[in-house]
Amino acid sequence: MIYLDYAATAPMNEQALTALNELNREVYGNSHSLHDAGGRAENILEYSREQLAGMIGGAKEGVYFTSGGSESNLLAILSILNGLPEGRKHWITTTVEHASIRNALPLLERLGYRVTAIQPNSQGLVTKEILENAIQTDTGLVSIQHANSETGIIQPLEELSPLLRARGIVLHSDMVQTFCKLPIDVTRMGVDAASFSSHKVYGPKGVGAAYIAPAVPWKPVLPGTSHERGFRAGTVNVPGIGAFVTAAASVIQDQPEVLAHFRRLRSHLFSQAKQHGIPLTSAANEREVHLLPHVAGCIFGGMEGQYVMLECNRNGICISTGTACAAGHQEPSASLTAIGLRKEDALQFIRISFGRSTTTEELDQLIQLLASLKGGGPIDG
């Protein structure tokens, strides 16, 4: 099997597997227990918190471990809104966020918050002008993803944050797709809160983290919650957290080399497609926006994306037609319509995403298959 769906999830790496097995075997105490077994678990937990904070340029006190990126998004947004002054009931987000955020809009409106979902420009970017036009006197929180999981478009958070900071507005960003893929320093970027996921960075599933800068006020979503300083209910998954941080540390260690590898793979994919007459083009304009190097959101001209994905699967190659959290929907995603794609073009979308072990030889096999789907027959050499 050739796996090219790393934007959906990644296999655990050896470092994370070793850490998970050892911690499950040796550090099984409840981190809230007062005996030595609990103290040992608490030490691992706090060490992991400190390590993750260092990876993102944040403060240890602002790290809260969760069950994954979706829960991190929801709890961060709800907790911050819950802690804002009464006159700050307006929340701004975008139409291209992850489903966990977009699906929360009706809930927040029922809870009495006013919600504005802004549309990026035709390049898929949220500009200062677009954001400023949406800000109102009672705006308290803005949520803008760092990068889109389908198009790969990276948002200019460092340019947007001063606009919000000057108005006392909190900036939250879903960084699930960019953590360990791009250098992140939340302090330098002006990001007050962020969300992360373990399984995107070769760690175990069911683990994630939220970051809320210590200066940002928040209140628990569930009253009486004691774990993670009231941020989340439930016994803390210390072995999973330790494996998550171990995986992330191993990836960040050689980040420059891996990023260069991803860029070579992306260039190889599109150059080979062009060389062999395959109508495979980037969904986003690479000359106008910065894109994630490991995500190739493509339009395969003249062929429905779902059919291409199923044919690839039948031939042992795993790709996708977009984010796994929205799989099965027949309508084109908001991320694709936001960049001006017509419905018929958006339905020809496929996503090819790379991992550290992806090779050009694997991409060549994909190219062979795509050529055969277009009736071009096998490619020699």
> What is the band of 380 on the pLDDT scale with cuts at 50, 70, 90?
very low
> What is the C-alpha separation between 51 and 213, in angstroms, rounded?
16
Residue ranges matching CATH 3.40.640.10 in the chain: 14-253
Confidence of residue 381 (pLDDT cuts 50, 70, 90): very low
Backbone angles phi, psi at 261, to 5 degrees: -60, -45
DSSP run (H or E) holding 94? strand 90-94
Annotated catalytic residue 180: no
Average of per-residue pLDDT across 357-371? 97
318 phi and psi angles, rounded to 5 deg:
-100, 110
Average pLDDT over every residue of 348-363: 97
8-24 in b/e burial notation, b at 16+ Cβ within 10 A? bebebbebbbebbeebe
Q: How many CB atoms lie within 10 A of CB 274?
A: 12
DSSP per position, 132-180? HHH--TTEEEEE--SB-TTT-BBP-HHHHHHHHHTTT-EEEEE-TTTBT
Parts of the chain belonging to CATH 3.90.1150.10: 2-8+254-373
Checking if the pLDDT of 378 tops 70, the result is no
The more confident residue out of 292 and 227 is: 292
Q: Return phi, psi of residue 120, to 5°.
A: -65, 170
pLDDT range class, residue 139, cuts 50, 70, 90: very high
Which pLDDT score is estimated for 270? 97
Which pLDDT does position 324 carry in this prediction? 52
pLDDT score recorded for residue 323: 60
pLDDT of residue 247: 98
Q: What is the mean pLDDT of residues 156-168?
A: 97
Given a cut of 50, whether residue 219 has pLDDT beyond it is yes
Residue 375 is predicted with a pLDDT of 56
Question: Is the pLDDT confidence value at 376 over 70?
Answer: no
For 2, the enclosing helix (H) or strand (E) is strand 2-3
User: What percent of the chain is modeled with pLDDT above 90?
Assistant: 84
Confidence grade of residue 288 (pLDDT, cut at 50, 70, 90): confident
Q: pLDDT tens, 6-61?
A: 999 999 999 999 999 999 999 988 888 888 877 898 999 999 999 999 999 999 99
pTM of the prediction? Answer: 0.94
Contacts of 274 (CB under 8 A, 6+ apart): none
The domain made up of 2-8+254-373 is a member of CATH 3.90.1150.10:
yes
Least confident of 21-35, 137-151, 192-206: 21-35
**Banded pLDDT at 79 (limits 50, 70, 90):** very high
Digit-coded pLDDT (tens) for 118-136: 999 999 999 999 999 999 9
Query: Among the options 180, 298, 318, 325, which is catalytic?
Result: 325
Q: What is the pLDDT of residue 39?
A: 81
330 band by pLDDT with thresholds 50, 70 and 90: low
User: Strand 63-66 vs strand 208-212: parallel, antiparallel, or unpaired?
Assistant: antiparallel
Instruction: Please state which CATH class domain 14-253 belongs to.
Output: alpha beta
Mean of the per-residue pLDDT values of the chain: 93
- Looking at residue 258, its pLDDT comes to 95
Note whether 175 and 165 are within 8 A (CB). Answer: no
Going by pLDDT thresholds of 50, 70 and 90, the confidence category of residue 113 is: very high
Q: What is the pLDDT of residue 379?
A: 40
Please give the span between the terminal C-alpha atoms of the chain, in angstroms, as a whole number: 21
290 and 154 in contact (C-beta within 8 Å)? Answer: yes
Amino acid at 86: E
pLDDT for the residue numbered 203: 98
User: What pLDDT, on a 0 to 100 scale, did the predictor assign at position 329?
Assistant: 55
Q: Which residues make beta-bridge pairs with 295?
A: 353
Chain length of the chain: 381
